Structure 1
């Protein structure tokens, strides 16, 4: 299957793997965090070892782009390790391991969060809905905006898991709506420090600089972890350019690479990236990269702990090998979600807000 996929890809496989949080206590963290963001340090280490055993050479994102463009020739298949969001867990548990093993990696940073006590909207919503479920909140009897009810109802009725409902919700709503839902839930739940998740802390700039001195790369991931296909052009421009400039200013490196939040992108977003000197954009499309492919739609396999858990509930070397060799894709049993989306226009965004009554009494901007 590896040989077949190699021939399909133009002679070399270029596997780009995406992680979010590498944690020391997976079982404990699983009780309070979004499961699909988590992988234990031990499982992560085994992924690295088994990628090497599967014939991959670890490479930088720049080397992968050069091989895809034909500027370089790879003697082996390439594997690029990437991390989204800049969680401090990566600094604590992944960085020392990668440094010890001599493996390069790139971290994509949403720069407004770096060096702050803030938490991402997805982590805050996950935490708040868990509390609402525990308190048996009845959304239709609360002073909540329609989007909050839209998120809560299928979870409280057990029609969807919280992770699935949250994925759907974030893919549908702009950052401003997410913040309104967070504020309304916090108010309904009585306020207080307990409504901010203690987990999910973010790196600071000193930690970023320390990793950069050791040769690790950093790319932009917007300012505020913003799904850009849901935003107007002026927001897209600002989120891309200012996140790039912030990293360059703080770390004294040139930023050439970008990760699309939620994996979603559009032709408009790609044009902005190219105009500001980026060389690549990574998606979350779990399909093979091909020699000669578009560097602004690089495909990534998003990995977490359970992708390596076998039928008996323990770590499975065979299953991990199948993931790395894309056996499920070759057999046609996986269903990758493609990230290209029509870009929401300013008029469409305004109409959506007006129709849903999400900002009653306010003019959408």
Structure 2
């Protein structure tokens, strides 16, 4: 399979793997967090060991881009480790493993949320919907915006699993609608300190700078985790430009790499990235990267804990290797979800922030 993938890719496998949260207590965190974002520290370490055993050299993104562009050759297949979102548990549980094993990595940051007590819209929605489920809360739907009422009814009625319903919702609506839904759910559930999730806290800038000092890289992931294809181009421009500026100011490094939220992109978004000095952008399209391929549509394999759980319920090295070598895709058992989307075109003057900053915080 590895030889087949090398021939498909132009001589070398260029695998980019993606993670979100590395956690110390997977079972406990699973009870309150979006499952597909989680991987235990133990499984994360085993992934890295398995990749090395499968013949990959771990490389910084820039080195992989040089090989992909034909500017240099690689003696072995290359693997690039990436993290989206800048969750603090990556600093707590992922970063020590990377340091110990000498594995480089790049983390894509939602720049305006780093160093604040804020939470992502998707984590807030997941938490609020769980509360509604636990209380079997059937709101007066005609008092809520239609999208919020539809989402709540779908989840509370059990017509769709919470994670799947939330994925579909985020894929359909812009960030302004997500905020309206959060506000509606909070009003429906009533006031209380439990409306903001405890989990899902993000790194602060001192933690980011410590990782930079140890040689780890950072890229941009918009200001507040915004799906750019849902937004007009003037908003895209601001999200791209200002996220880059903030990270560069806080870290003293040059930011040249970007991760699309939801993995979705368009030609318009790519043009904005090029105009602002970026050299690459990663998707969530699970496909091989090819020598000579487009650096602004880099393919990634998004991994979480259950990708490695075998029939016995424990960690399966064989299954993990099959996942990493994309055996199921090569056999036609699974296809990629493509990230190219149409771009919303109308301009919006005086567009508000696409997420709610915590009280007392401004950017």
Q: Which runs of 4+ in 1 moved over 3 A?
A: 139-142
Provide the secondary structure at the position in 2 that maps to 1:295: coil
Q: Give the gaps of 5 or more residues in structure 2.
A: 350-363
Alpha-carbon distance between aligned partners in 2 of 1:239 and 1:206, rounded to the nearest angstrom: 23
Matched, 1:115 2:115: yes
Alpha-carbon distance between aligned partners in 1 of 2:329 and 2:63, rounded to the nearest angstrom: 25
Alpha-carbon distance between aligned partners in 2 of 1:51 and 1:86, rounded to the nearest angstrom: 23
TM-aligned CA distance change 1:335 to 1:154, over 3 Å: farther
Alpha-carbon distance between aligned partners in 2 of 1:65 and 1:153, rounded to the nearest angstrom: 46
Provide the secondary structure at the position in 2 that maps to 1:218: strand
Matched, 1:92 2:92: yes
Matched residue, 1:363: none
Deviation string 1:143-187 (CA, Å, 9 cap, x unpaired) is: 211011221222222121111111110011111110111011001
Matched residue, 1:181: 181
Deviation string 1:220-270 (CA, Å, 9 cap, x unpaired) is: 000010000000111000000000010000000000000000000000000
Matched residue, 1:355: none
Matched residue, 2:21: 21
Q: Give the gaps of 5 or more residues in structure 1.
A: 351-365
Alpha-carbon distance between aligned partners in 1 of 2:306 and 2:164, rounded to the nearest angstrom: 16
Provide the secondary structure at the position in 2 that maps to 1:17: strand
Alpha-carbon distance between aligned partners in 2 of 1:150 and 1:281, rounded to the nearest angstrom: 34
| Residue 142 of structure 1, CA deviation | 5.8
Alpha-carbon distance between aligned partners in 1 of 2:252 and 2:311, rounded to the nearest angstrom: 47
Provide the secondary structure at the position in 2 that maps to 1:112: coil
Matched ranges for 1:34-49 at <5 A: 34-49=34-49
Matched residue, 2:324: 324
Q: Is the 8 A contact 2:285 2:336 kept in 1?
A: yes
Q: Is the 8 A contact 1:143 1:188 kept in 2?
A: no
Matched residue, 2:72: 72
Q: Is the 8 A contact 1:108 1:259 kept in 2?
A: yes
Deviation string 1:51-72 (CA, Å, 9 cap, x unpaired) is: 0000000001111111110001
Matched residue, 2:214: 214
Q: Is the 8 A contact 2:139 2:188 kept in 1?
A: no
Alpha-carbon distance between aligned partners in 2 of 1:239 and 1:160, rounded to the nearest angstrom: 32
Q: Is the 8 A contact 1:142 1:188 kept in 2?
A: no
Matched residue, 1:245: 245
- Provide the TM-score with structure 2 as the length reference: 0.94
Q: Is the 8 A contact 1:259 1:281 kept in 2?
A: yes
Provide the secondary structure at the position in 2 that maps to 1:186: helix
Provide the secondary structure at the position in 1 that maps to 2:206: helix
Greater helix fraction, Structure 1 or Structure 2: 1
| Residue 139 of structure 1, CA deviation | 3.4
Matched residue, 2:130: 130
Stretch of structure 1 that moved more, 320-329 or 290-299 = 320-329
Provide the secondary structure at the position in 2 that maps to 1:219: strand
Matched residue, 1:171: 171
Provide the secondary structure at the position in 1 that maps to 2:112: helix
Matched residue, 2:82: 82
Matched, 1:287 2:287: yes
Q: Is the 8 A contact 2:233 2:344 kept in 1?
A: no
Deviation string 1:304-330 (CA, Å, 9 cap, x unpaired) is: 000000011110000000111111111
Provide the secondary structure at the position in 2 that maps to 1:323: helix
Matched residue, 1:333: 333
Provide the secondary structure at the position in 2 that maps to 1:265: coil
- Provide the TM-score with structure 1 as the length reference: 0.94
| Residue 335 of structure 1, CA deviation | 2.1
Q: Is the 8 A contact 1:5 1:13 kept in 2?
A: yes
Deviation string 1:264-303 (CA, Å, 9 cap, x unpaired) is: 0000000010111100000000011000000000000000
Matched residue, 1:143: 143
